Amino acid sequence: MLITSSRSLPPCAMRPEVYQDEQLLCPPARHESSAEQWRDFQAKRDAAHRRCAGCEVLPECLYQAVVEVDVSGFVACTSERERQRMRRVLGIDGPLHDPTQDAPRSGGGPVDHDLVMATRRAHPDDTSRQLAERLGCSLSTVKRHLRRARETESPTPPSPVPPPTIAQVLDVFDDLEKTA
Ligand code: SF4
């Protein structure tokens, strides 16, 4: 296949290293960072934000990351935690498809379900990735336990609700940006 131009690629494809930075994949806690570390993180976040803000497919990318697929890291001007907040506001449980659902467990012994849930209660704003780091287990393990808890809490499946529209997602995103 001959690739003659990369002009149609989105910024995240043109500069993947910006988005794959460890600090954007797993944002530090403000209170655990020095002033310099925090400035460094914010500069990286702002650089990715600027690129996404100028991206032609931002609305579609945002909708997909909030509603359809559970992706990690900084995507479509949002962190994983911000997308969680947006889902809460939109009243959706989680993305329709979780690509880690069938991923094999990596390393370590079994993680106790109660421990995962206790850690979730103690750190309600943590992303799944941050919980995995606290527990020393994989992201897929944390997600599996959280899913199990949701299923146990809701033995009768809720009636299906229509997914939000792209306009609703963008409205919630605008509110997020105003409070950022
Ligand atoms: S909006 Fe989405 S597709 Fe565009 S640069 Fe950001 S992450 Fe990539």
How confident is the model over 125-138, as a mean pLDDT?
A: 85
Say if CB 116 and CB 132 are below 8 A apart. no
CB atoms within 10 A of CB 162: 5
Residue 5 pLDDT > 60: no
Instruction: Say which range, 57-66, 95-104, 127-136, 156-165, has the weakest mean pLDDT.
Output: 95-104
Q: How remote is the CA of residue 123 from the centroid of ligand 1, in Å?
A: 29
The answer to whether 132 and 139 have CB atoms below 8 angstroms apart is yes
- Please give the DSSP secondary-structure letter assigned to residue 71: -
Q: Does position 100 have pLDDT exceeding 60, yes or no?
A: no
Quote the CA–CA distance of 106 and 132 in Å, as a whole number: 12
d(CA 124, CA 104): 25
- 60 versus 153: which is more confidently predicted? 60
Tell me what the mean pLDDT of segment 49-74 comes to. Answer: 93
Cα–ligand 1 centroid distance for 111 (angstroms) = 34
Average pLDDT rounded to a whole number, residues 94-119: 63
Taking the C-alpha atoms of residue 80 and residue 72, their distance in angstroms, rounded to an integer, is: 6
- Portion of the chain with pLDDT greater than 70, in percent: 82
Residues facing 78 on adjacent strands: 75
Which atom from ligand 1 is nearest to the alpha carbon of 52? 6
Q: Is the CB of 57 under 6 A from ligand 1?
A: yes
pLDDT at 44: 96
Residue with the larger pLDDT of the pair 128 and 55:
55
Helices of type H across the chain: 11-14, 16-19, 22-25, 35-53, 58-63, 80-90, 113-122, 128-135, 139-153, 166-179
pLDDT at 66 over 60: yes
pLDDT higher than 50, residue 107: no
Q: Which amino acid is at 1?
A: M
pLDDT tens figures, 73-82: 899 999 999 9
Residue 78 has φ and ψ, to the nearest 5°, of: -135, 150
CB atoms < 10 A from the CB of 33, how many?
A: 16
- The pair of structure tokens assigned to 120 is 């979730």
